């Protein structure tokens, strides 16, 4: 077969090849909980995720586009650019905690978070949404309304939901930093364990 033949074949298959490559990208889109805040980045749950993927022979590249202090408004403003740059097949959305802690209007938080999820879905990615909880001093009504945001978005958009990202960590002072908001390095393996059962069904060998 001639060189021209193979060039033509490549041109026909290139879009499919590019798509297959993008399916192998996991985008982490979050705030300081996903940036290894307060300790070496190699100890953060995102780095541990990379190691686990290799260990379990999943051929994926992880792109961490998380920003410390990020709100859903900030995330919404940049999600499309990040999606275009990363071309992910899976997007892990870990946002909303800063909105809740700052007392941002919950309707705005819900609207922004849903827009982020929809953008990822429209880009052809699977979405894993990580739900957050607020401390008890915010009052039962506000806490329940905040919790319901994640459940409603997950159900309406049919995406996987981690019920509480900080399960087993937030209520353990030995695993939390002095600010009571950010987990320590020692908590990062548990954070990954909270995510893994929901992420694994989205992975392919």
Whether 59 is catalytic is no
Catalytic annotation, pick one of 32, 34, 66, 119: 32
Catalytic annotation, pick one of 40, 141, 173, 179: 179
Tell me if 100 sits within 8 A of 72, measured CB to CB.
no
Number of neighbours of residue 97 by Cβ within 10 angstroms: 24
Cα–Cα distance for residue pair 30/199, rounded to 1 Å: 16
Q: In what order do the strands lie in the sheet with 25-30?
A: 61-64, 25-30, 90-94, 126-130, 160-162
Whether 173 is catalytic is no
Whether 182 is catalytic is yes
CA separation (Å) from 11 to 5, 24, 37, 104?
Answer: 10, 21, 44, 49
Catalytic annotation, pick one of 31, 34, 99, 182: 182
> Catalytic amino acids?
32, 179, 182
């Amino acid at each position: 077969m001639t060189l021209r033949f193979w060039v033509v074949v490549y041109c026909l298959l290139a879009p499919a090849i590019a798509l297959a490559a993008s399916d192998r990208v996991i985008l982490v889109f979050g705030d300081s909980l996903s940036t290894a805040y307060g300790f070496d980045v190699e100890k953060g749950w995102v780095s541990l995720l990379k190691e686990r993927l290799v260990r379990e022979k999943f051929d994926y590249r992880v792109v961490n586009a998380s920003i410390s202090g990020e709100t859903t408004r900030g995330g919404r403003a940049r999600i499309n650019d990040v999606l275009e740059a990363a071309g992910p097949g899976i997007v892990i959305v870990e946002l909303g905690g800063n909105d809740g802690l700052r007392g941002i209007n919950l309707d705005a938080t819900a609207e922004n978070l849903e827009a982020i999820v929809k953008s990822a879905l429209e880009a052809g990615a699977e979405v894993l949404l990580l739900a957050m909880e607020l401390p008890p001093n915010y009052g039962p009504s506000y806490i329940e309304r905040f919790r319901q945001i994640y459940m409603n978005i997950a159900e309406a958009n049919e995406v996987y939901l981690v019920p509480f990202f900080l399960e087993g960590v937030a209520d353990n002072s030995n695993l939390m930093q002095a600010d009571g908001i950010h987990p320590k390095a020692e908590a990062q393996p548990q954070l990954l364990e909270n995510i893994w059962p929901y992420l694994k069904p989205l992975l392919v060998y």
